[in-house]
Each structure stands twice: as structure tokens, then as C-alpha cells.
Amino acid sequence: MDKNKFYITTPIYYVNDEPHVGHALSTVCADIIARYQRSLGKEVFFLTGTDEYGAKVLLKAKSEGKEPQQFVDSVAKEFEKAWKLLNVSNDIFIRTTDPRHKKNVEEFINKVYQKGDIYKSEYEGYYCIGCEEFKVERDLIEGHCPVHRPEQTVFQREENYFFKLTKYATQVLEILENDEYQILPKQKKHEIVTKLRDAIEKNELPDLSISRENLDWGIRIPWDEKHAIYVWFDALLNYSSALKMKDIYDKFWPADLHVVGKDILWFHTTIWLSMLLAGEEELPKQVFATSYFTIDGQKMSKSLGNVIRPADLVEKYGVDGARYLLATSLPYHDDGDIGYLKFDTRYTADLVNNLGNLVNRVVGLIKKKDYTIKNFELEQDYFSELEPLFNEYKLHEVLQQILMHVSKVNLKISEEKLWEKEGEEFSTKIESVVKSIRQIGYNLAPFMPNTSLFINHTFAESAKESEQVLFPRLT
Ligand code: MSP
């Protein structure tokens, strides 16, 4: 296998909702990792996209009085727009309504069916449309899913096709326990492994229903067109469809990293691995699951009116400000609280008063002294403490470390009273400061690409002409 390639994915987002800060978290984290891997010289393929079938999306389209295709076309555009705004460097934007994805799903399901891993049976039980997930009694509180509105939990009795999840469960458990497919953070590995082990031991893991009889909005079961394929069975396969669409499956498969939210980790472990084992495809290497954002202590929801959208963030803090705030707020182990007040405080402390101040004051000094920078060499190195943090995707900690370097340079300038120096002494000291700033700029590149370019450009010959203020104060 080509060690020099890196295939990274985000979840594909349901189009029943417009892009919000929760979606932006997975996407921006994946983008930072993709940019980091590129800077290490890897050939990266970065996938994101939209999940457009299923009951939830259909209901939403109907509630807006639109044809489903017309509806999904318009929301998918919103996602593409949001990721452009946030300077996301994805190589493809996949949509599950693409006929090429349908072809891949059909081929896969046919193969697994012919192998005897899919059978027809009666399904009786609960389904939460909000989660697009079958539920057992113990998942419900007072008869409905605790996360979504009560009416979204429906009772169903119908003929379904089932996938033999149970056939692969023990093998999947072993793979997860041995980190052959590594779950990060480790604490989340523990949760999944315990859940799966318990279910196997208690004989409580059901086979997975993978079709819906009365759903008009989905890819059809190829040998029985009355049935729509369950949205998750279809959605997970986007990861292989995307490579086949570009004719690069052989080069990039399997995925090196799936970035997901904690809510969908079960699907990206137990279900996804079982499917791949059944389909006899090579397994992915790693999955990184973030926790959730809450907004000022509350769940983000339309009814509470506290939804933060990528466009709002970019308007207020600029692209790089928005990316910085998302990455520093990364809820790594536990859920993390965000909100405008917290964002304002952090933007001002870290970007205006620390990073912005450093760059702006040094540019000011260079202008005042009419100094011409002599050394333009850029050290293309990451600070040594960053690599282990990057390897565990602790992106918030990487930023903390970089900002510590920024503080140090700021302190050095003040302690040395650099503005009072002249001649040779000024030259030696300012060259050293500029070198540090450029290295900081290099380290920031995966997180804040524009700022990094700005720093690089400003501290070349053009420093004296620079008019732009980096990270102005909030108004
Ligand atoms: N369509 C499925 C994924 C299929 S992947 C083959 C799906 N989509 S989703 O739009 O509902 O959510 C996708 C992801 O958005 C979640 O896993 C999570 O990463 C992110 N988030 C949604 N709300 C969030 C927060 N409040 N906070 C952080 N991330 C959240 O599930």
C-alpha cells in the first residue's frame, strides 16, 4: 500500500438542516488535518459532501412544499458555499443522489446479497426518524427517542431486508480491541468496545434492517424495487463511491482517517466494518470522533434560536478567525461550550492582543526604522512538541502551543525594548524576531492559511509597504 497517500473524510451531512457550527467543526478539523498531511509531503484526497436520502430529508422537503430533488439541490449548494467561505480544501464534494454513487451502492449490495449475508424477514420495532436509526426499548424514554421530538419515533411492522451484522460482530470487536482500526480519542474507543462486547455477550446485537418498504426517497434494492435501501447503508458507501467517481480507488483506498461526531461513531465502527468485511474490502485505518458543541450551556437548536452558522462566524471574525475559534474550541473528550461571548473574548485575547499585536507592532517598527529585512529564509518545520499532538488530533492543544510561542516573542520584544535599539544591534534582534514570526506563520498554515500567507508575504520585502492590520479589534 502507498504510505505516501492520505485519504481523509468528513461525515456527509443530512440536508434537512442548513450548515451550522457543529457541521463546521468536523469539516474544519478535517481540513486542518488534510492541510497538515499535505505539508508533510503526503498525497492527500479529502472528501466531504451531503447525505440526501431518507425519511428525514423527505419530510423536510414536503414541509417546504418542494420536490425532494429540487429541495436537496438547494441545500447541498448551501453546504458547498459554507465550506468555500471557510476556505475548506476538499478535493471532491459528493452527493448521494449522484447516479455514480447509486451504481456503487447497487454493486456493493448485490455482492453482499449473493454471498448470502442479506435475508428478508419481518421487522417490528421503533424507528427514530430524527436519528434515522432503529431503536430498542432500552434506547427510549417514555416510549420515544430522548434526543428528538416524540412524534419522530414511530412504530413499524414491515417486511425488511436484513444484513447479517451478527456474523461479523466478534471479528469487528477483535479489530477494534487490537487497534487494527484505531478509534481516537482512546476514551471513546473504550465506550464503543464495551458497548459491542456487552451486546455480543448478552446476545443483544440484532441484525441490521437495511431496507424500508414504504419510502419513496432512496436508492432501490436492485432485486426488489419496492424497497428503499436504509439511508445509513447507502451513506457509508459514499466513501468508496467518491474514489470510484474519480477513478482513484486503487490508489487511495482504504481511508486513512474518518473524522466524525461522537453520535455516529457506532455507525463508523460496528456497522461500517461489518459491511466492509462482508464486501471483502480493505478496512480503514483510523476514526477520530469529536464531542459536541453546546451553545451558552444549551443544546443548539432552531427552536431555541441559538444556532450559529458558518457565515455568521466568518462575517464577525474573518475566515481565519472563524477557523481559529472552531479549532481552539474543539470538544475533544467531552462536550464543549461555545458562544459569542466566549468567542469574542478568545478572539480578542489570542488574535488581537497576542498574534495580531505581534505582527502589527513588528511591521510598525520596521516601517518606523525604515528597515529592510535581509534574511528571507523560511524554516519549514513544525515546533517539535506539535507532532505527537497532531498525531492524536489534539488540534486545540497544537494551537495553544503555537500561541505560547507568540507570547514568548511578544515578551522578548518588550523585555529587550527593541524599539530603543539602533544599528547593528537592532538589525540582529529584529532579524531574529522576524525569523520567529515566520516560523509561527508556517506552523499556523494548516489552521489559518490566509494569515500564514500574509505573514510570509509581509515579512518579505514588502514589510514596509504593508497597510493591512492583522486581526483588527471587534467593533
Ligand atoms: N448523514 C449522517 C452522517 C453520514 S456519514 C456516512 C449525519 N449527518 S448530520 O448532518 O446529522 O451530522 C453530521 C455530523 O455533524 C455529526 O456527526 C457531528 O459531527 C456534527 N454535529 C452535528 N451537531 C453537532 C454539534 N452540536 N456539535 C458538534 N458536532 C455536531 O449524521
Ligand 1 close to Cβ of residue 329 (< 6 A): no
Select from 400, 436, 399, 401 the least CA-distant residue to 416: 436
Segment among 279-283, 378-382, 440-444 with least mean pLDDT: 378-382
Ligand 1 close to Cβ of residue 11 (< 6 A): yes
Res 468: pLDDT: 82
Q: Distance between CA atoms of 261 and 79, rounded to whole angstroms?
A: 17
The yes-or-no answer on residue 23 being catalytic is: yes
Cβ contacts of 247 within 8 Å, gap of 6 or more: none
Ligand 1 close to Cβ of residue 13 (< 6 A): yes
Give percent of the chain with pLDDT exceeding 70.
99
The yes-or-no answer on residue 128 being catalytic is: yes
Segment among 145-159, 213-227, 295-309, 354-368 with least mean pLDDT: 145-159
**Mean pLDDT of the region 445-466:** 86
The yes-or-no answer on residue 20 being catalytic is: yes
Select from 166, 246, 227 the least CA-distant residue to 202: 166
In the predicted structure, residue 462 carries a pLDDT above the cut 70 = no
Strands (E), 89-215: 92-95, 118-128, 133-135, 153-163, 182-184, 208-209, 211-212
Amino acid at 110: N
The number of domains in the chain is 1
pLDDT digits (tens, 9 = 90+) for 50-102: 999 999 999 999 999 999 999 999 999 999 999 999 999 999 999 999 999 99
**Mean pLDDT of the region 196-216:** 94
CA 243–ligand 1 middle distance (angstroms): 22
Select from 106, 162, 12, 128 the least CA-distant residue to 59: 128
The H-assigned helical ranges of 230-335 are 231-236, 238-245, 249-252, 272-279, 310-328
Res 460: pLDDT: 76
Which of residues 142 and 96 earns the better pLDDT score? 96
The closest-lying atom of ligand 1 relative to the alpha carbon of residue 26 is 19
Domain of 351, CATH number, reads: 1.10.730.10
Q: Is residue 70 a contact partner of residue 57, using CB atoms and an 8 Å limit?
A: no
In a domain, 356, yes or no: yes
CB neighbours (10 Å) of residue 465?
9
Res 461: pLDDT: 64
Ligand 1 close to Cβ of residue 332 (< 6 A): no
In the predicted structure, residue 148 carries a pLDDT above the cut 80 = yes
Indicate the angle between helix axes 186-201 and 165-177, nearest 10 degrees.
140
Q: Distance between CA atoms of 94 and 200, rounded to whole angstroms?
A: 35
Q: Is residue 307 a contact partner of residue 375, using CB atoms and an 8 Å limit?
A: no
- CA 137 centroid distance within chain: 31
User: Which pLDDT band holds residue 463 (cuts at 50, 70, 90)?
Assistant: low
Res 369: pLDDT: 94
User: Which pLDDT band holds residue 377 (cuts at 50, 70, 90)?
Assistant: confident
Mean pLDDT of the residues in the chain: 95
In the predicted structure, residue 196 carries a pLDDT above the cut 80 = yes
Segment among 50-54, 142-146, 230-234, 315-319 with least mean pLDDT: 142-146
Q: Distance between CA atoms of 18 and 13, rounded to whole angstroms?
A: 9
User: 245 burial class (0-12, 13-18, 19+ CB within 10 angstroms)?
Assistant: middle
Residue numbers of the domain that contains 392: 339-458
In a domain, 453, yes or no: yes
**Mean pLDDT of the region 439-462:** 92
CA 27–ligand 1 middle distance (angstroms): 10
In a domain, 297, yes or no: no
Ligand 1 close to Cβ of residue 272 (< 6 A): no
In a domain, 410, yes or no: yes
Cβ contacts of 254 within 8 Å, gap of 6 or more: 7, 281, 282, 283, 284, 285
In a domain, 220, yes or no: no
In a domain, 150, yes or no: no
In a domain, 89, yes or no: no
Residue nearest to atom 2 of ligand 1 (CA): 13
In a domain, 373, yes or no: yes
pLDDT digits (tens, 9 = 90+) for 219-245: 999 999 999 999 999 999 999 999 999
Catalytic member of 60, 101, 145, 227: 145
CB neighbours (10 Å) of residue 33?
22
From residue 10, give the alpha-carbon distance in Å to each of 5, 18, 90, 311, 327: 17, 16, 10, 19, 15
User: What is the three-class DSSP state of 462?
Assistant: helix
Q: Distance between CA atoms of 356 and 369, rounded to whole angstroms?
A: 20
**Mean pLDDT of the region 17-42:** 98
Segment among 155-159, 404-408, 413-417, 457-461 with least mean pLDDT: 457-461
